Amino acid sequence: MKKRMKGKLPPLGDREEYIERHLFNELRWMLAAATEWSIQKEQLALEISGYHMDVFAMDSTFLHARALFEFFLNPTKGNYYGRTEFTSANLASDSYSNKVSGWSGPLHSHLMHAQDRSKGRKLETPDGAKDLNEMPVYFAREVLRLWEEFEDALLNSGDQQDRRLGSLARKKRNEAINSARCVTNSKVAERHAQEKGIQLKPVFG
C-alpha cells in the first residue's frame, strides 16, 4: 500500500460531512464519556473493586477533548485539519492555550506519554486548582463553549453555505447533548442510583 508523505494532508473535501461525521463523533463521545465519569466519580462514587469505568471514561474524555481543542484553536497543519477550513474567526481559550498555566501541555504529556497524572501541576478552573484526573467535565464544558463560538462564526457569515454549516453544527451539538443524557438515564446507572437512594443529574444542557 502506498504511504502518504508525512505533512501532506489531502484537501478536506465535503465540509458538511466533516461536521456531521467527524466533528460530531468527537463531540458525542466526549460528552458521553464526561457524563459517565461524572456519574461514576462525582455522583455515584461507587468505588467497587475491579470496576474502573471512571478511568475508562476519563481517558476517553481526554482523547476526544484534545482532538476538538486542537481543531478549534489551530489552523490546519501538516497532520490535521483546523478551524480555518471553515472560518477565519479567531476562536480562543486561555484556559487551554496559556503558555504558563494552560491545560494543553499537561493534557498532551500525560495523555500521550506514560506518566503519573497525580504528580503534575494543578490546572486552573472556575472552581480552583484541580488535578488532571479531576478535569473531564471542565474540558468538555470548554469544548462546548468553543463549539458554540464556531457555530456563531458560521451563522454570522455572509456566505449562505457557511450559514447552513452553522445550522448543522448547532443541530449536532444539541444531538450530542441529548445523547449524553441517555448515559444518565441508562438502566445500569439508574439501578446504582436507586441502590444509593440518589437522583442522577444530567451534566450538560
Torsion, CA 68, CA 134, CA 97, CA 116, rounded to 10: -100
Torsion, CA 91, CA 178, CA 192, CA 117, rounded to 10: -20
- Name 123's bridge partners: 130
pLDDT number for residue 3 = 44
The cell 462525582 sits on which residue?
Answer: 42
In the chain, where the domains are located: 16-85+100-196
Torsion, CA 179, CA 175, CA 173, CA 109, rounded to 10: 30
Helix-helix angle 160-184:24-37, to 10 degrees: 30
pLDDT number for residue 28 = 98
pTM score, whole prediction: 0.91
pLDDT number for residue 45 = 87
Give the torsion sign (CA, 124, 126, 132, 136): negative
Q: How far is CA 159 from the centre of its chain?
A: 28
Question: For every one of its 205 residues, what pLDDT tens digit does the chain have, with 9 covering 90 and above?
Answer: 344 445 578 889 899 999 999 999 999 999 999 999 999 999 998 877 778 899 999 999 999 999 999 999 999 998 899 999 999 999 999 999 999 999 999 998 887 767 776 677 899 999 999 999 999 999 999 999 999 999 999 999 999 999 999 999 999 999 999 999 999 999 999 999 999 999 999 999 8
Q: Which helix (H) or strand (E) holds 192?
A: helix 187-196
pLDDT number for residue 6 = 54
Question: How far is residue 35's CA from residue 26's CA, in Å, rounded to a whole number?
Answer: 14
Enter the C-alpha cell of residue 181.
443524557
B/e letters for 8-43, b = 16+ CB within 10 Å, e = fewer, are eeeeeeebeebbbeebbebbbbbbbbbbbbbbbbeb
